[in-house]
Amino acid sequence: MTQICESISDLDRKHVFHAWAQATIQDPIVIADAKGSFFWDEEGRRYLDFSSQSVNVNLGHQHPAVISAICEQASRLCTADPRFSADVRSRAAQLIAEVTPGDLDKIFFTNGGADAIEHAVRMARLHTGRHKILSAYRSYHGATATAINLTGDPRRWPSDQASAGVVHFWGPYTYRSSFYADNDQSESYRALEHLERTIVFEGASTVAAVLLESVVGTAGVLVPPEGYLAGVRELCNKYGLLLILDEVMSGFGRTGKWFAADHWNVVPDLMTFAKGVNSGYLPLGGVAVGDRVKETFAFKPYPGGLTHAGHLLSCAAAVATLNVMEEEGVVRNAAEIGTDVLGPSLNRLWEKHPSVGDIRGLGVFWMVELVRDRDSREPLVPYNASGEDARAMVEVVAECTNRGLWVISNMNRIMIAPPCTVTAAEVIDGIDILDSALLIADGYCG
């Protein structure tokens, strides 16, 4: 009865325990409808979705082929215990294996990205008999126990037990180099030197794996300089470590290739995925496993599994998503939008706005990094700022929202990640709104 009197927002405030900072958002938008690159609130206001929700709706909202595949599967067989084989699960695994790089052709399904990380790490530890995992400070790997400890950015701090066998290192980031490098080539070289020193001083015989996002996502959309990922692969080979690439955010077309690692032809031993695998319509993730780890578990059972892993409805959505991506040239569209539209338009914003310190990205995966001063590169808001200290960013993002552009921001950065199906006209509309909002950021420049 109470539902009749109380608004959706009231009920949400009263009963929904939100994640992360969303708990402190006073008036979350009530999302009511969505199609393609847009969603609508309950008052019928339209928003251009430049975040693909959580960078997962790669096919855009409500693709009819995916919806009908889910409905068709639901009417046939909703669920089956992971011990059974089921046509749609096998088919999803086959289609994923067809696009994953190299010998990664066996798929361990999970419910999402964080549990994919948990299992990739468990596999690496059992395979090598070692415990330590090296991961980057500038990273996000998920919110479960091991994944959050592996995460480098401040989302780790409240849950960090410093006991998960994790060692953090610095990856390449030429704009804010940890190695006093002023170009990509030396950044790559010095970052590799630093990683090698970390391996040696930690004791290679104690390290199971290096874990990296192929292109770092929320911690900066950091595209690794030429040679870096291949160099990490070589270091792993040299010291007998596994390489785990986290493609949860960068996978399934986001960077204009099936997987970001494909830009540099690097094949990891284990690769985690989730989000875009079924355009986020239902929870699904997994680990793609290569020959070395596959052999370890060929005759001994892997100790781990999840009730809903490889859920049939999620797998049906994955099969439909992968078919649509192939048939509609979605990966090619993401690549072309990146090179022909997003890259040049963001570059124009960089030329025009003093607050834009750096832009970087690939495909439909970009970051605009805002500063108060281009020479000193002082960030628009301090690292991990909140409350009044974060005001400048809050104002810029609010202006985007008020003008009908939905973006996600992190510290002094605005991420640009529309669906891989976005059109050039939609991108131009969104960039126009961002252009106006950046005038607010310019006002903070000295």
Ligand X SMILES: Cc1ncc(COP(=O)(O)O)c(C=O)c1O
Given the rule CB under 6 A, which residues bind ligand X?
Answer: 54, 112-114, 117, 140-142, 213, 217-218, 246, 248-249, 274, 285
**Residue 382 CB, nearest approach to ligand X (Å):** 23
Decide: 405 and 393 in contact? Cβ < 8 Å.
no
Closest chain position to ligand X (CB): 113
Closer residue to ligand X, CB minimum distance, 243 or 274: 274
Which DSSP state fits 334?
H
Closer residue to ligand X, CB minimum distance, 89 or 155: 155
* Strand 38-41 with 46-49, pairing: antiparallel
CA distance 287 to 105: 10
Decide: 42 and 30 in contact? Cβ < 8 Å.
yes
**Residue 355 CB, nearest approach to ligand X (Å):** 26
Closer residue to ligand X, CB minimum distance, 135 or 345: 135
Closer residue to ligand X, CB minimum distance, 264 or 350: 264
Place of tokens 């693909």: 52
**Residue 375 CB, nearest approach to ligand X (Å):** 32
Burial degree of 160 (CB within 10 A; 0-12, 13-18, 19+): middle
**Residue 147 CB, nearest approach to ligand X (Å):** 6
Closer residue to ligand X, CB minimum distance, 188 or 218: 218
Closer residue to ligand X, CB minimum distance, 140 or 179: 140
Please name the helix (run of DSSP H) or strand (run of DSSP E) that holds residue 416, with its range, or none.
Answer: strand 413-416
**Residue 80 CB, nearest approach to ligand X (Å):** 22
Decide: 30 and 11 in contact? Cβ < 8 Å.
no
Closer residue to ligand X, CB minimum distance, 271 or 319: 271
Among 326, 298, 299, residue whose Cα is nearest residue 420 = 326
Residue 225: strand, helix, or coil: coil
**Residue 55 CB, nearest approach to ligand X (Å):** 7
Structure tokens belonging to residue 436: 């106006």
- φ/ψ of residue 364, rounded to 5: -110, 45
Q: How far is CA 306 from CA 79, 126, 287, 385, 397, in A?
A: 13, 18, 13, 37, 38
**Residue 136 CB, nearest approach to ligand X (Å):** 11
